[in-house]
Amino acid sequence: MITYDRLYVGGAWTEPAEPALLEILSPHDGSLIGAAAQAQPADVDRAVAAARTAFDSGEWRDTPPSERITVLRRFNELREEQADRIAELITAENGSAAWFTRAGQAALTRQANAYLIAAESFDWERTLTPSDPDSPVRSVVRREPVGVVAAVIPWNSPFSSATSKILPALLTGNSVVLKVSPENSLSMGLLAELVDRIGLPGGVISVLPAERETSEYLISHPGVDKIAFTGSTGAGRRIAAIAGEQLKRVSLELGGKSAAVILPDADLTAVVNGLKFGSLLNNGESCIAQTRIIAPRSRYEEVVEALAGLVASLPVGDPRDPATFIGPMVRGDQQQRVRDYIELGIAEGARLVCGGPQLPPGLRDGFYVTPTVFADVTPSMRIAREEIFGPVLVVLAYDDLDDAVRIANDSDYGLSGGVWSADVDAALSVARRIRTGTVTVNGAPVGFDGPFGGFKASGIGREYGAVGLGQYTEFQTITV
């Protein structure tokens, strides 16, 4: 059993304010995986105070960017060395299938490299060319770190969410208090071990597993200058309200109900193979999952039949088994939430094509749901509008491309989406009309060089690459 009985506060393992440990149980069978200390407001006070002292001292803030890059490159190297262990821990904690957590390690490398490369050529400081060539005044524009960053992340993809925030925050010279979900206390304890080995000055980073009340205490803390959050849209609204009251900088990566638009000429075999990963990755517990399938009426039943065949064929079971594609939901309440949405879809009049609210055969001990496909879904149904966060697909029909775009955009969300077509130019034309932060064509993976984030209720701000670095800086203009 893995035990973390101390908290990583300000660069040191310290005794928690509350000594009782939270037991971390397997969502597959309820077995005990480990135990970990959980942060309380007193721990937050210590972490924020350490971060503020570290930032104000200037030791990390004033370290040349090239040296900060070297330190963070070392973190990435250490993480790569521990890739198998990280994947195993997330599978054990979350129930994420082993294929997903292992594949995610390569994605983490690409994500980190994109930040490191962007930092090497980042526009840290430049002198502007005066608009009046005869003027004796010149302006120097600098990028300054924001200060103390509260990075708050969800449980569903903990290492990716953590590194998408701590890497740009640290590369730009900030101090960070990383608040992680209790479910991820073990994998995030390992992250703290790695951070502890890279040589950051004391106080620059803390890693605190904690419940929602402590999270809100951190977000509201007067010592915090910026909030970087990934999570639900409901929580994002609350955070935005707090940030607005206190005039804190804020970036929010929130929920999604992403659409996959299938054009009439699309290769259906390729579509189905791509949506296996684009729609059902991480057991469907993914904000970018394309769970609204928008199909041409001329091929509607063909699409429905193909998707149903795919979903019914996916192995469900022990997430540690390499053959498993879909594991359990992370918690019992999440399992019940997904099953309630399946019941709702039936009550709304959608056609249940495969799956249903019943538990998968032989899987009654864990938090499992049966992967499900609904057809004859209309845009007004709740199962087509609300984020289910599980392996549930809904298929909607369209008459022409204008109708397809209208249905895709008829959503409170705007995080991700996809277009499928044999004609790439035609797919690009449709993609440009979809109001989401990211659109993939023919299953292309989301890149880490360009900005990632959402329109509408899917968030504020962007992550990844140079744009992501900029979210953790303030502009300073000096006129000489």
> Active-site residues: which are they?
253, 287
**Residues 6 or more apart whose Cβ sits within 8 Å of residue 308:** 353, 354, 373
Neighbours of 257 (CB within 10 A): 25
Helix (H, G, I), strand (E, B) or coil at 406: helix
Angle between helices 401-409 and 424-431 (to 10 degrees): 40
Are the C-beta atoms of 436 and 457 separated by less than 8 Å? no
Comparing CA positions, the residue from 209, 201, 161 lying closest to residue 6 is 209
Residue 266 region, left (φ>0) first, then alpha (ψ -120 to 50), else beta? beta
**Residues 154, 187: Cα–Cα separation, whole Å:** 13
**Residues 365, 245: Cα–Cα separation, whole Å:** 45
CA neighbours closer than 13 Å in the CB half-sphere of residue 348:
21
Are the C-beta atoms of 377 and 259 separated by less than 8 Å? no
φ/ψ of 127, rounded to 5, equals: -100, 125
Beta strands 175-180 and 205-209 are: parallel
**Residues 250, 149: Cα–Cα separation, whole Å:** 9
Which residues, listed in sequence order, are joined to residue 32 by a DSSP beta bridge?
A: 25
CA neighbours closer than 13 Å in the CB half-sphere of residue 207:
28
**Residues 390, 370: Cα–Cα separation, whole Å:** 10
Comparing CA positions, the residue from 460, 457, 405, 413 lying closest to residue 431 is 405
Specify the residue for token string 């309440």: 333
